[in-house]
Structure 1
Amino acid sequence: MRYRTATAADEPGLHALWAAAFPDAGTVSALWGQDQGRHARTFLAEDDSGRVVSALHYLPRPIRSATGRPQRVGCLGSVATLPDARGRGHVRRLLAAAVDAMTADGCAWSLLFTGTPQVYEAAGWRTFAAPGWSGPLAERAPHPGAAAVRLSTRADLPALRALRDGFDATRPLTTVRSADDWEHRVPVWYAPPAAILIAEDTERAPSPLGFAVLRHPAPGEAEIAEMALAPGREAAGAAALLSAAAIRARAAGATTAAVRLPAEPAILDALPYLLAETVPATTHYGMARPVIAPTAEVLATVTAPGAVHWYGDSF
């Protein structure tokens, strides 16, 4: 068994591994292919026959700290092991190699998301909570305010970027999105049937109030995975967007919805436009590990009020 970084010759083997491990392997491979430094940041286990049996990848991303200052963070993903090679410590060895590489790369800390935290706890990652709510979809009338909500188009990209940058200006745990992120990464995660809804003030057009992302993670279920609101217009934007999302979700056959947004007053006040009954649904999928930064600094970031990592910044 050999443990090493990847080369271009390993790409077919990596794609085959991810195809065997992930239902969305095409997305995993597509996003991995956008990392120009992917080979040096991909660690794999190769058996004696030359087969790639386990692998992981980290991507350095600028993520805002508890103070709002961007830090270089090693975002870990694409972790997979073939079924017949599991339970042999491959991921443990690859994680150790990745931590060494992230240290040399100047990463302050490392971030990952998983449903199997025990795999990473022994290597120093710790879970953190993210706020959320769920419940049956509301059947209220459309929000009566002076706002129109529609599907966004590519022409709305400057407005979406401005809303996102403003809403996240100092928000902990958010990624500082580049033009390339908007061009390539966001469309992958929010491809149809997901919808980016934009709300506009009909009395002060063109005046965007905010945008929200509506996803359907499973049949009969809807999810609000992202939102950005214009400063000073948060209440109007949140109410209009969640009301429109409820109408659109019901039309798509959904009966329940989940909300993955920060617990801010405007959002909390608008939840009844989406949910008939609001049930707290905190998640613990996020995990963080200090690399160069002190543990207390990393903990302050992932637990800061308003901290959120948007689904569209997945890796």
Structure 2
Amino acid sequence: MEFRTATPADVPSLYALWATAFDAPLMVPVYETDDGRLDRTVVAVLPGATGDEDRVVASVCWSPRTLVGLPGPDGAPTTLTVSGVANVASAPDVRGRGLVRLALAEAVARMDAAGMDASLLFTGTPGVYRPSGWETFEVPVTRGPLLPDGAARPEAAGSAGVVARHEQPPRTGSPVPTTFPAWGADLPWQDLARLHDAFHASPLTTRRTAEHWQRRIPLWYSAAELLTARRPDGSVVGYLVVELEGEVLRVRELAVGTGEAPAPAPAPAPAPAPAPAPAPADRAALDALALAARSLARERGAVRAEVRLPRIPAAAGLIDALLAPEGRETITDATGMLRPVRRPVAEIDALRAATSGPATGFHWPGDYL
């Protein structure tokens, strides 16, 4: 058995392993948006008679991301370089031999050599990762019945002239069916990036790059619907990403402005600096987005909603505009896990604890997968 980074010759066997281990049609397309993916993919290989017959029997992938850390001693925002772990798999006929544990150890050594501060992953089986140093953190999920909706449509105007629009671009020839908009002149990705960075500045929030917005985010949200809040002049002052599954509308992402005229979006830097603390959210944009989401839910037969957002005032405002008070409940999602790499254990423990405190952020899985 050999543990090493993947090579181009390993790709067919690697993809065959994932097809056996996961029911995830987006896994390979999302993986292929990472230009450095093979150098950050640790594989366990059973050698064959020739190099072309080597068989990948376990894998661990990781990708570097810049995340907001805990505030510094002076209260200023800080950042961490964090490795997101994904695509962890082992072949059924070799399970029970500790291959995933060994592959994780090899991946952590490479993260350390690459200067990673910590590592992040999302899983429904935390017991697999605890022996290797990852520990869970908690984020709130609020769910319940939707508020009654009148005759208003997604195009109906909110207060202060803000209008919510359901973006429905034509389908393209993408290998992955997508309803998420192709970025164009009428909806440049820079508008969403500007809102995102100004709105999200709390621990574990990702500082997305241009590559994320242009390649990864449209794929990750390929089954989602995008609602934008716009002023009469067409400027985007908020957005909401939702997914509809059966009778449930799931809120995946939110960002709104402050009610002030937006500044021109600067050219993206290779390593964006952390954003300042967000100003109070634009209530008109929140109300318009909530109304549009409820209308869309009714059209698709959804009667309930699930909101996974940080504990911030804007999230509370959206929840109040979406969910009926009766039957509403907040539960804990503990699928996220963190592990220190170069930073002290105490610092990462404090970061984990911050996710369940007031006015904190968290990481969306789509930012690292």
Q: TM-score, normalised by structure 1?
A: 0.92
Hey, what does 1:129 align to over in structure 2? 138
Deviation at 1:48, TM superposition (A): 4.6
Hey, what does 2:212 align to over in structure 1? 181
Is contact 2:41-2:60 (8 Å) kept? Answer: yes
Hey, what does 1:151 align to over in structure 2? 166
Give the whole-Å Cα distance in 2 for the aligned partners of 1:173 and 1:42. 23
Aligned mate of 2:287, from 215, 236, 239: 239
The percent of aligned pairs where both chains have the same amino acid is 39
The reply to whether residue 90 of structure 1 matches residue 99 of structure 2 is yes
Q: Secondary structure at the match of 2:105?
A: helix
Give the whole-Å Cα distance in 2 for the aligned partners of 1:283 and 1:233. 25
Q: Secondary structure at the match of 2:334?
A: strand
Give the whole-Å Cα distance in 2 for the aligned partners of 1:158 and 1:247. 27
Hey, what does 1:220 align to over in structure 2? 247
Deviation at 1:230, TM superposition (A): 0.4
Hey, what does 2:58 align to over in structure 1? 54
Q: Secondary structure at the match of 2:23?
A: coil
Structure 2 unaligned regions, length at least 5: 49-53, 72-76, 168-180, 259-279
Give the whole-Å Cα distance in 1 for the aligned partners of 2:28 and 2:81. 23
Q: Secondary structure at the match of 2:39?
A: coil
Distance 1:125 1:70, change over 3 A: same
Give the whole-Å Cα distance in 2 for the aligned partners of 1:81 and 1:139. 47
Give the whole-Å Cα distance in 2 for the aligned partners of 1:19 and 1:91. 17
Q: Output one character per residue of 1:12-34: Cα deviation in whole Å (capped at 9) or x when no partner.
A: 0111111112211x421122222
Q: Secondary structure at the match of 2:190?
A: helix
Q: Output one character per residue of 1:147-206: Cα deviation in whole Å (capped at 9) or x when no partner.
A: 2111345232222111011112x3221111111111100000111x4111111234xx34
Greater CA drift, 144-153 or 119-128? 144-153
Aligned mate of 1:266, from 314, 320, 323: 314
Is contact 1:238-1:267 (8 Å) kept? Answer: no
Give the whole-Å Cα distance in 2 for the aligned partners of 1:222 and 1:84. 39
Give the whole-Å Cα distance in 2 for the aligned partners of 1:293 and 1:127. 17
Q: Secondary structure at the match of 1:75?
A: strand
Hey, what does 1:41 align to over in structure 2? 40
Structure 1 unaligned regions, length at least 5: none
Deviation at 1:207, TM superposition (A): 4.2
Deviation at 1:266, TM superposition (A): 2.9
The reply to whether residue 199 of structure 1 matches residue 259 of structure 2 is no
Distance 1:87 1:196, change over 3 A: same
Hey, what does 1:302 align to over in structure 2? 352
Q: Output one character per residue of 1:186-240: Cα deviation in whole Å (capped at 9) or x when no partner.
A: 000111x4111111234xx344331110113x43222101001102443222222
Give the number of aligned pairs: 309
Give the whole-Å Cα distance in 2 for the aligned partners of 1:175 and 1:270. 21
Hey, what does 2:22 align to over in structure 1? 22
Is contact 1:189-1:311 (8 Å) kept? Answer: no
Larger Rg: 2
Q: Secondary structure at the match of 2:252?
A: strand
Q: Secondary structure at the match of 2:38?
A: coil
Deviation at 1:249, TM superposition (A): 1.8
Distance 1:267 1:15, change over 3 A: same
Distance 1:283 1:210, change over 3 A: same
The reply to whether residue 190 of structure 1 matches residue 190 of structure 2 is no
Is contact 2:67-2:80 (8 Å) kept? Answer: yes
Give the whole-Å Cα distance in 2 for the aligned partners of 1:9 and 1:16. 13
Hey, what does 2:304 align to over in structure 1? 256
The reply to whether residue 313 of structure 1 matches residue 367 of structure 2 is yes
Deviation at 1:88, TM superposition (A): 1.5
Give the whole-Å Cα distance in 2 for the aligned partners of 1:3 and 1:94. 7
Is contact 1:225-1:311 (8 Å) kept? Answer: no
Deviation at 1:311, TM superposition (A): 4.1
Deviation at 1:99, TM superposition (A): 0.7
Distance 1:198 1:262, change over 3 A: same
Greater CA drift, 256-265 or 303-312? 303-312
